[in-house]
Amino acid sequence: MTRGTLPLFDMVPRITFMVVVSVLAYLIFSIVIASDSLAPSLSTNQFGKIAVIGGVLYDVKATAAEYVEGSSVPGAVVGSVGGVGLNMVASAAHVLANIPGAARPLLYSVVGDDLFGSQMVDAISRTGVDASGVLICKTHSSAMFISLGDVHGELMNAVADTAILDDNLGEHIAGSRHELGSMKALLLEMNLMPEVALDAIRHAPDAFIALEPVSVPKAGRIVTILEQGVSVDVISPNTIELDAILAGVDITDLSTNATVHTKADALLERFPTLASVLVTAGADGVYLVTREGMQHRPARDVVQRVDSTGCGDAMVGAIVAAVAQGLCDWTAGDVGGCLDEGLDAAALVLQSTESAVGKYH
Ligand SMILES: Nc1ncnc2c1ncn2[C@@H]1O[C@H](COP(=O)(O)OP(=O)(O)OP(=O)(O)O)[C@@H](O)[C@H]1O
Ligand SMILES: [Mg+2]
């Protein structure tokens, strides 16, 4: 045996020591690498992740040059992607695009495995929305709204086919309960069946919850939801939807010409789990009523009013995104920063022929 070499049994502790040191070094190295690769996602602002649940549909508008019974007539036919869900989430995306690191808003909806469905997914992605919550359904065709009008703009007839949403959205939402629980805010439109909305709300107990009534016939669904005693942070009716909601509630001591403040107060009193009522009033701007009182903001001055369709959707989408990002403190009544975003988004839609902000970016 030469000097400096060790017998094998002498080397065993040294080898063990080196193995242990290597394993430890490897572990430390992996932890550093892992935390490094986590860094970008942690620095992304997950704080304000919002989800919109609602409809996207293909809108076909036909204008007939004349009417001849039992016959086709010449005219113009225009198709576009629309829907309250898309309008709201596009507006949220517009607000969030200006906030560095903000997560894109997520849309939960269902489209068909058809030409219209792929156009819808394209349009959704182009607006900066996370389309991973959009289910492509093979059994139904995409939701469509087809209207026939005359040359004066009067509606002659219309057909809405939303069976794909009615039949599939509930199951889709039930399958997404886990993700809903991590959302900072949820914005739901009342084309949803009340039980689907309730399922989503119950699985997002920490989220800011907003309900958009959509229309007079659908507004009553808000009453069904509130009657279940779930917490709702804000509902966003326009003035006629506010009346429709009140009509579904047993409140007797309210005169028909009561003010917006009185009407909204009556709702807050009737539903203790409802925190605020945001009443949009077209050219008269917006009223926010809470238990602490009422605030009014005038509408933005605009150079040209082109079409107000979708202004309310844009307003509530922008406000909910702003709340989720902490641009205001809604529960503390410090709402200015969020209402400003809503008014700006509504003004953008008002000045455009599109019914959603930046729809075709
Ligand atoms: N004619 C108008 N002039 C100025 N601002 C308007 C006008 N119409 C709408 N707005 C702005 O848009 C906001 C929301 O509009 P509106 O009250 O018409 O909502 P809505 O009826 O729910 O709309 P939609 O259901 O079509 O989305 C208003 O609070 C206002 O800021
Ligand atoms: Mg509306």
Q: Report, as an integer, the average pLDDT of 75-81.
A: 92
220 domain-assigned: yes
Residue 357 CA, ligand 1 centroid: distance in Å: 13
CB 338 within 8 A of CB 330: yes
252 domain-assigned: yes
pLDDT score recorded for residue 11: 58
Whether the CB of 319 sits within 6 Å of ligand 1? no
334 domain-assigned: yes
Q: Which of 304, 308, 351 to mutate to test the pocket of ligand 1 (most atoms within 8 A of CB)?
A: 308
Domain count, the chain: 1
CATH of the domain at 237: 3.40.1190.20
168 domain-assigned: yes
pLDDT digits (tens, 9 = 90+) for 309-318: 899 999 999 9
Whether the CB of 299 sits within 6 Å of ligand 1? yes
273 domain-assigned: yes
Is 39 a residue whose pLDDT tops 70?
Answer: no
Closest ligand 1 atom to Cα of 314:
27
Whether the CB of 355 sits within 6 Å of ligand 1? no
20 domain-assigned: no
Is 113 a residue whose pLDDT tops 60?
Answer: yes
Whether the CB of 307 sits within 6 Å of ligand 1? no
183 domain-assigned: yes
pLDDT score recorded for residue 251: 77
The pTM of this model reads 0.85
Whether the CB of 216 sits within 6 Å of ligand 1? no
Q: 298 lies in which domain range? A: 49-54+81-138+159-360
pLDDT score recorded for residue 359: 61
pLDDT digits (tens, 9 = 90+) for 81-99: 999 999 999 999 999 999 9
Is 354 a residue whose pLDDT tops 80?
Answer: yes
254 domain-assigned: yes
Whether the CB of 305 sits within 6 Å of ligand 1? yes
Is 41 a residue whose pLDDT tops 70?
Answer: no
167 pLDDT band, cuts 50/70/90, is very high
Q: What is the C-alpha R_g of the chain?
A: 27
Q: Report, as an integer, the average pLDDT of 131-140.
A: 96
Closest ligand 1 atom to Cα of 286:
29
